[in-house]
Structure 1
């Protein structure tokens, strides 16, 4: 192959699908996310393994085109890295739409029946489920045949170790995106690429991971940024929370999209915004304002008194901030 030389190299090889080492996962009907996107017709019955962002989005996609979908999550909630309230609301939303969601459930084996039917044995008391396809959602850094160990690149958990300037331990070698593990998000990888490129040119740029938006393009949409309640507690914060439903939003009412809510996690003493979690109309757009608030270390008071147009969905973040201050206007006092 072609040999390319340079004083600096940025590894941006992305990730590749992975399958669990469980009996039967080499069966014909077990597909990866890459293969799912190449299907010419939707399976009548689909089992999705993993209730993370990829699994939830694919559940919504295939349900939308007519598949009967079962979503398995081995942990206690879907979207395990997100706030517990987000996981609960999304799970209920999926179930309301007819998607079977099983938590604390993992497959123990898969066997092929006559024809193309797959029978998946589930752990615990869940029994078996018969489907036409099984979709696995795992991904891992794609580092095969790069020669990284030969040049001494430090790896951890199958990913390239980098500092906040995206530098590896080998001078002149940078790495970004899925190849470095962590949050596998295209918008995060794009910023990492900019940071790596600027540092490769001799500038001094550092990544700031406090305000990375995490979005689900489902119905309703989900947008989260910053800390969850559990993470705030783990980091020793004293904090307050507020959850404002979109049923209080005039704009959500005119759109006819009342499902969901805005939740703010704020430091108790000064009101510094620690996290914002949105489920509902245009959540993936609204979360940008919250990301900027965290990036600029804004407080609940800053959000509460920044004027928004009316009627807009953004007003729900204002009301949540006011509630943190004990000044909610539209939230009923029960």
Structure 2
């Protein structure tokens, strides 16, 4: 049985012995997500959407398996460590056009799946047409998503565009080592600078009992002490909210200081917790936190809302 360390004991540990990062494993990062989405769909009020995202995640895994990521220059990595900056910045990296080929493949596979709803097929075909006729428009959409915003008509295609970007960034990140990456700015992924989607208290091996923030873009995870706001870094006024009768191990870590929250998942309650899938599968908790007056600091890569006026 894994032992979860209390806050005081964690703070007294030699933190140089705690694995700072979890680099994504190409072999299963998206297939694990797909399996989790399908499992969550069975008891969900948004079953159809979760199954659609599972199909998309399966297509992502197939695309990742054969995608050769652009090489990362050693000088870029060294400079990033020197200046404590992410080497693969989401909003500053020049993207190889190959990411659009990834998008075309994902759209073709999801639209061609017999189980994909007609409305989703139409959205895939419309985006594929835009990709063929106005690739610059798709690049603009990608820029907006990586900056955390989407407007109007871009909401429906957003998860598909983001899915291709996830494959692209995860492929690059999976080839890195912890020693090549900086500590980075607090609350942001040290690899790409993206805010976390959620956090997970892991079980097993060197990560047992430790909490990791989870990047929704490059799939890297980085360690953060327990009972600490992932947005403002305070350790005061932290509370944990959950839905009575809901799934064990799914909570919202709320901060009274900045009035924000992020979800936290506990693998000792369910070893198959997957941050992106479980975040999408617990929307009722988001509604509860909104009613309590807390703001969510970063969204889901699989579900976007219009941020325009």
**Category of TM-score, reference length = shorter chain:** under 0.3
- Normalising by structure 2, report the TM-score: 0.25
- If each structure's strand is expressed as a fraction of its own residues, which one has the higher value? 1
When Rg is computed on C-alpha atoms for both structures, the one with the higher figure is 1
